[in-house]
Amino acid sequence: MKILLLEHPRKPSGDRQNDIANTTLASCLNSGYLAACLLQAGHCVDLVEGYMEHLDYTAIADEVAAFKPEILGVHLVYNWEDNHELFTLITRLKQRYGIAHVTVYGYYPTFAWKEILTRCPAIDSAQLGENELTMVSLANDPKHYETLQGLAFRTPDGFSSSFGNLVSDLDTLPFPIRKASTYPGGEVNIFGSRGCYNNCTFCYINPYYGNASGCPRWRGRSPENIIAEIDQIIAQTDHRYFYFTDPNFYGPGEAGKKRVLKLAALLKQRPITFGIEARANDIDQETTAALVDAGLKNILVGLESGREEVLVRLNKHTTVAQNETALAILRANGIEPNVGFIMFEPDSTLEDLRVNFDFLTRNHLLDRLEISVNVLYHHQIILAGSRSYEELKAAGRLNISDHSVYEADTDYSHPQVADLAALMRQLTNHIFDHMASTWSLSEAGDPATLQRYKAINGLLVQTFGDILNAPGLLEKSDTILKHVTGQIDTIMTLKDSSC
């Protein structure tokens, strides 16, 4: 069977410049794993990286025409907009090249499959959840796809759906197929585990796997299996920086700690550096020291809040003390962390924001523009599949997007919080516009750019703090926005370092 897998082009949204959570980072390996599993099963596969290779729809059509697939699989990623243009492309490709079956996969189809099948009749099926086993089954018997586990499809009476079976032993998966374009900036994305042992309200990672009975929420590859993949990449490429896309690098409990220590010992023997993502409660001195010794350079820690009551609302099962301890341990080992933080969540109060602001200040998380511009505006993103989505829907508070049921928002419980969130969104989007052309200069340590960023950071932090101390200022939010953005424009256009 000839199968073409497509990573479709995705355009940035002007209003959602740094909202990246419309699919998890681990999704970037989805098509590569499917391609590897299909090849292992004896099928003929082509992988078209439309997104990373910057291919337009004409170039993609040419790829399809040359390969003539019997099955077209599309990693369908929601991109904060209506997918009408992409659906039109899929329809045209199927009709023009006689494709027998079109299937879509990913987080978006898993939670919005009915909408997708309704809007695009050319799509025959949507794969729900983990899909390696589903895709191979479909390729083996596409004519009887209605009998397969893991697919949603139309029936004479409406629709039928089921979640895919999970791979119980991740070590049995072949290593993903990688093209030259799958190394963004020379970085190798790799995963060492799937799922998470927690269940935060804003997260849809565990629901994506269908909550299968008998399967742990967190599944890890063995350290030996991970190292075998790394050794293969080292032998085949010049890339030496690896980023683990796991939403939870550490496994649960003492067993998770022992696994990390074993992996660190193996990583230390390789000429590489790497980055990870973790929960604050998993970070301790022993594992951190071992990972840094093995080449750890970057870490994203999901702190989310600096107030106990908010952490409880978010079901984080962490404490403010654990957040602060994690920061201290990482810094003591020479790692300045990136942090996940939800400044504005649906039930935030001004007091929540004040406590958050104090937490960020005393923990030196507002010292750099690159971090401040994120943590001072980030609102809770509400996507289908998450507990927040379901709870807000049940409470009649869910405002579903005009574009898709996959995305929603809600009215804030407190009007002044809503006003401040709106102001910060406009202000930070303005800053992101400037950073788009100067980010690389800042990263390279350009003195003039660093000085400008320092001045803008001070302005941003001061503005946020001033409003928290005097919420009545929000009655003049339009004036504040115009004044502050004007100052930012002045700073960014200075031709010397006098800012």
CATH of residue 281's domain is 3.20.20.70
Average pLDDT, integer, range 320-334? 98
| Together in a domain, 6 and 136 | yes
Whether 23 is covered by a domain: the verdict is yes
Whether 457 is covered by a domain: the verdict is no
The two beta strands, 2-7 and 44-49, are parallel
Neighbours of 387 (CB within 10 A): 17
Given a contact cutoff of 8 angstroms between Cβ atoms, the answer to whether 50 and 9 are in contact is yes
Residue 417 Cα distances to 218, 340, 351, angstroms: 35, 20, 10
Distance between CA 267 and CA 258 in Å, rounded? 14
Answer yes or no: is pLDDT of 114 > 90: yes
299 DSSP β-pair partners? 276
| Together in a domain, 129 and 17 | yes
DSSP H helices, 72-121, are: 84-97, 107-119
Distance between CA 224 and CA 243 in Å, rounded? 17
Residue 18 has what pLDDT? 67
The last residue of one of the domains, among 127, 161, 195, is 161
Tell me the pLDDT band of 183, cut-offs 50, 70 and 90.
confident
What's the whole-number average pLDDT of the chain? 94
Given a contact cutoff of 8 angstroms between Cβ atoms, the answer to whether 103 and 123 are in contact is yes
Answer yes or no: is pLDDT of 498 > 60: no
Answer yes or no: is pLDDT of 119 > 60: yes
Distance between CA 451 and CA 271 in Å, rounded? 35
Given a contact cutoff of 8 angstroms between Cβ atoms, the answer to whether 164 and 127 are in contact is yes
What's the token pair of residue 383?
Answer: 């996507």
| Together in a domain, 287 and 244 | yes
Distance between CA 327 and CA 212 in Å, rounded? 35
The residue type at 243: Y
Answer yes or no: is pLDDT of 260 > 70: yes
Find the CATH number of the domain harbouring 21: 3.40.50.360
Answer yes or no: is pLDDT of 201 > 90: yes
Residue 213 has what pLDDT? 55
- Dihedral sign, Cα of residue 343, residue 346, residue 349, residue 355: negative
Q: What pTM did the predictor assign?
A: 0.94
Answer yes or no: is pLDDT of 120 > 90: yes
Distance between CA 146 and CA 153 in Å, rounded? 7
Domain that holds residue 102: 2-161
- DSSP letter for 344, please: B
Q: What is the CA angle 412-418-423, rounded to 5?
A: 155
The last residue of one of the domains, among 331, 353, 386, is 331
Give 434 or 46, the one with higher predicted confidence.
46
Neighbours of 459 (CB within 10 A): 17
| Together in a domain, 127 and 256 | no
Whether 122 is covered by a domain: the verdict is yes
The two beta strands, 101-105 and 71-75, are parallel
| Together in a domain, 40 and 140 | yes
Whether 139 is covered by a domain: the verdict is yes
Average pLDDT, integer, range 425-430? 94
Answer yes or no: is pLDDT of 496 > 60: no
Distance between CA 310 and CA 347 in Å, rounded? 9
Closest CA to 392 of 197, 202, 132: 202
Distance between CA 205 and CA 223 in Å, rounded? 22
| Together in a domain, 197 and 133 | no
Average pLDDT, integer, range 398-420? 96
| Together in a domain, 242 and 212 | yes
Distance between CA 146 and CA 247 in Å, rounded? 33
188 DSSP β-pair partners? 242
Tell me the pLDDT band of 17, cut-offs 50, 70 and 90.
low
Given a contact cutoff of 8 angstroms between Cβ atoms, the answer to whether 489 and 450 are in contact is no
Q: How many domains are there within the chain?
A: 2
The last residue of one of the domains, among 130, 161, 192, is 161
**Helix 350-362 × helix 447-469 angle, to 10°:** 140
Given a contact cutoff of 8 angstroms between Cβ atoms, the answer to whether 103 and 152 are in contact is no
| Together in a domain, 157 and 187 | no
| Together in a domain, 156 and 187 | no
Closest CA to 124 of 81, 79, 45, 71: 71
Whether 175 is covered by a domain: the verdict is no
